[in-house]
Amino acid sequence: MAPRTLAEKVWERHVVHRAEGEPDLLYVDLHLVHEVTSPQAFDGLRLAGRTVRRPDLTVATMDHNVPTAPGPEDPVSRRQMEALERNCDEFGIRLFPTGSIGQGIVHVIGPQMGLTQPGLFIVCGDSHTSTHGAFGALAIGIGTSEVEHVLATQTLSQARPGTMAVTVDGDLPLGVSAKDVILAIIATIGTAGGVGHVIEYRGSAIRSLSMEGRMTICNMSIEAGARAGMVAPDDTTFAYVQGRPSAPSGAQWEEALEDWRSLPTDEGAVFDREVTIDGGSLRPHVSWGTNPGHTVTIDDVVPEPADETAERALAYMGLRPGTPIREIRPDTVFIGSCTNSRIEDLREAAGILEGRTVRPGLRAMVVPGSMLVKRQAEEEGLDRIFTAAGFEWRDAGCSMCLGMNPDQLAPGERCASTSNRNFEGRQGKGGRTHLVSPAVAAATAVAGSFATPQDIGV
Amino acid sequence: MRPFTTHTGRGLPLDRADVDTDQIVPAEHLKRIERTGFGPFLFAEWRKDPDFVLNRPEHEGATILLAGPNFGSGSSREHAVWALEDAGFRALISPAFADIFRTNCVKIGLLPVELPAGSVRALLDAVVADPTAEITVDLESQLVSGGGVRESFEIDPYTRWRLLEGVDDIGLTLRHAEAIEAFERGRPMRLPSVARA
Ligand code: SF4
């Protein structure tokens, strides 16, 4: 057989129906559901008198709307969460609602339960489904019509994507994290650089990352426009999956391992596009504009606008070209979101904050990606480090990643955020987002202006 | 799904690149659990500027959105295409669309047309010069004409057929029910199940 890429292998094993001139019909191994993109899909099922074909391959949680601290409830958000509860009840779907220990951001709970495994085809009505590709799964974000289609048929029809290799070699310098790698990749290939393609992240810098780091990278594939992002499974992957509640065990574990070891891209397989990045020369990145391609390194200055979009972005962000990034002073620091809210992200930030305090006048919050991450962090004492430093310690949810719940920026407020999107108004109307790594976020909280851990003497 | 064969209407010149779905419908308006009623939230923030194209009387009733490249990037929210549909749009013309957004469009019968940047520029200029200029998007012949532009566009034949017929995707897939069952019988036991989670 001709050498194949990881993406091609995973794709091929899910083809249910293939015909000339039609997209392939693929079987979905795992369907993740949340409250925002599902109510109309369930309505569609009811209207047509259809059922959910595989409730056992479907799991739901609440994340986008949930408040992460006690306070007055938004009745409209409540209504959306109640609709999910009713729908899961009616169609027999397992739900992790607010208040349950299994609740969390949809892309954090899948891996945490061991449901996310190599070789699977995973979908969710959410563009950051690409996160799960870190396990060597093919994971794509879909719209609500497709959510309905998957609920009814457990399949999805998909045109074959192109394949793209992004190779990052070299040793990442001190202070450079997975977040900086993906921001650098997006800066290199552009926000539409991956359109129509599945990106496979390769190279020694990727191999040396933990699963959390790989998830951060795959998570933001969509910010490069890609259909999905993947990393070939290896011993790091297997060690992460083993022993989790939904992981195979005993003889099935051995069988799974043998299968997973056959997934990585074959020697000699050809990608439609290839990009190489020197990991050894990367620096921490900070975004200055209103799309994730608008980034520079922390050592740079705000650039001269190259086009009208950039001019608009500078005006929106209230920034002047030539301003050193290190002189920009955020009002808020947010550590959280499906990009950077896992235990390793929290450990990294806490390591920097230990024995230090947040600059007076600055608001800082940390929002674990799931209630289990929260519990684990508390067991490790991270919560005490955060609160002693002056951070708010919240319950799990999407929180300030998007302006859909009580955690929002005020107009004009500037935020150093570990989330993934710096679009206008993303974190609240008129809010100004700077995307950074957890390490830079923590150091910035202490310094009061953008800083690396080294800048504050870590 | 509403079929699309051909449509003639006026264009709305949204001369911006990288318009993301957070701009098309901001997150705070995603809380509706109904499929309809998103039109009033279309470009909700930009619309607060009285000079924004959507507020300009000369463009009222436009049904074809003309925009810069990488339109619809970001979130997978289908609410973005529902809002465009609800606000009366039938077709979108841009040099390039984001993947999930394009799929969402064709699932509901809103036609995304990719034209070379030069032709989109010509259409934008034509519509700004004469807001009453009519544009025809003909899916059968794969041709956009009007405003001094006459340009054919590419669309994969399967999507074109689905749109022309207005087919129900789920119904279409269920014709393969036997293949789905056969596939399920062949799935290894070790694959994860939420029931065991
Ligand atoms: S954390 Fe942000 S990007 Fe991730 S699923 Fe929630 S809203 Fe989307």
Whether the CB-CB separation of B105 and B92 falls below 8 Å is answered with yes
Q: Which residues of A touch B187 (CB under 8 A)?
A: 27
SS (H, E, C) chain B: CCCCCEEEEEEEEECCCCCEHHHHCCHHHCCCCCCCCCHHHCCCCHHHCCCCHHHCHHHCCCCEEEECCCECECCCCCHHHHHHHHCCCCEEEECCECHHHHHHHHHHCCEEEECCHHHHHHHHHHHHHCCCCEEEEECCCCEEEECCEEEECCCCHHHHHHHHHCCCHHHHHHCCHHHHHHHHHHCCCCCCCHHHC
Query: Using one digit for the tens of pLDDT, what is the confidence trace for B26-55?
Result: 999 999 999 999 999 999 999 999 999 999
Q: What's the pLDDT score for residue B85?
A: 97
Task: Please report which confidence band the pLDDT of residue B197 belongs to, taking 50, 70 and 90 as the band edges.
Answer: low
B104 touches chain A (CB under 8 A): yes
Across A377-384, average pLDDT: 98
* A227, amino acid identity: R
- Chains A, B: CB pairs < 8 Å: 198
Q: Which of A36, A64, A309 to mutate to test the interface with B (most CBs of B within 10 A)?
A: A36
Termini Cα distance of chain B: 36
Residue B196 has pLDDT above 80, yes or no: no
Residue A332 has pLDDT above 80, yes or no: yes
Residue A241 has pLDDT above 90, yes or no: yes
Query: Using one digit for the tens of pLDDT, what is the confidence trace for A19-73?
Result: 999 999 999 999 999 999 999 999 999 999 999 999 999 999 999 999 999 998 8
The overall average pLDDT reported for chain A is 97
Structure tokens at A361: 């006048």
B17 touches chain A (CB under 8 A): yes
Residue (of B72, B75, B63) closest to B94 by Cα position: B72
Substitution candidate for ligand 1 out of A124, A127, A128 with most atoms within 8 A of CB: A128
Q: What's the pLDDT score for residue A344?
A: 97
Substitution candidate for ligand 1 out of A419, A421, A423, A426 with most atoms within 8 A of CB: A419
Query: Using one digit for the tens of pLDDT, what is the confidence trace for B146-192?
Result: 999 999 999 999 999 999 999 989 999 999 999 999 999 999 999 99
Q: What's the pLDDT score for residue B195?
A: 80
| Percent of chain A's residues with pLDDT above 90 | 99
Closest-CA distance, A12 to chain B, in angstroms, reads 13
8 Å CB contact of A145 and B169: yes
Residue B110 has pLDDT above 90, yes or no: yes
Tell whether ligand 1 has an atom less than 6 A from the beta carbon of residue A126: yes
**Measured distance CA(A28)–CA(A392) in Å, rounded:** 39
**Measured distance CA(A112)–CA(A104) in Å, rounded:** 10
Tell whether ligand 1 has an atom less than 6 A from the beta carbon of residue A398: yes
DSSP secondary structure code for residue A370 in this structure: B
3-state secondary structure of B138: strand
Whether the CB-CB separation of A80 and A65 falls below 8 Å is answered with yes
Taking the centre of ligand 1 as the mean of its atom positions, its distance from the CA of residue A298, in whole angstroms, is 25
The separation between CA A116 and the C-alpha centre of its own chain, rounded to angstroms, equals: 14
Q: What's the pLDDT score for residue A1?
A: 81
Tell whether ligand 1 has an atom less than 6 A from the beta carbon of residue A128: yes
Q: Which residues of B touch A94 (CB under 8 A)?
A: 194-195, 197
The pTM score is 0.97
CB atoms within 10 A of CB A235: 10
Query: Which of B23, B107, B174 faces A424 most closely, judged by CB atoms?
Result: B23
Whether the CB-CB separation of A218 and A134 falls below 8 Å is answered with yes
- B190 — alpha (psi -120 to 50), left (phi > 0) or beta? alpha
Contact residues, B window 123-182, toward A, CB-based 8 Å cutoff = 156-158, 169-170, 173-174, 176, 179-180
Query: Which of A115, A143, A402 faces B78 most closely, judged by CB atoms?
Result: A143
Residue B1 has pLDDT above 90, yes or no: no
Q: What's the pLDDT score for residue A207?
A: 98
The overall average pLDDT reported for chain B is 96
Alpha helices in A330-452 (DSSP H): 343-353, 371-379, 382-389, 438-447
Q: What's the pLDDT score for residue B168?
A: 86
- Residue bearing the CA closest to ligand 1, atom 2: A401
Sign for the pseudo-dihedral over CA of A406, A334, A377, A383: negative
DSSP A79-135: HHHHHHHHHHHHHT-EEE-TTSTT-B-HHHHHHHHT---TT-EEEESSGGGGGGGGG
Q: In what order do the strands lie in the sheet with A138-141?
A: A94-96, A58-61, A30-34, A121-124, A138-141
Neighbouring-strand partners of residue B87: none
- Tokens 């009285």 found at: B50
Judged on CB neighbours under 10 Å (0-12, 13-18, 19+), B99 is buried
Tell whether ligand 1 has an atom less than 6 A from the beta carbon of residue A269: no
Structure tokens at A303: 């650039």
Closest-CA distance, B28 to chain A, in angstroms, reads 5
Query: Which of A159, A308, A403 faces B156 most closely, judged by CB atoms?
Result: A159
A205 φ, ψ to 5°?
-65, -35
| Percent of chain A's residues with pLDDT above 70 | 100
Closest-CA distance, B90 to chain A, in angstroms, reads 18
Radius of gyration of chain A (CA): 21
* A213, amino acid identity: G
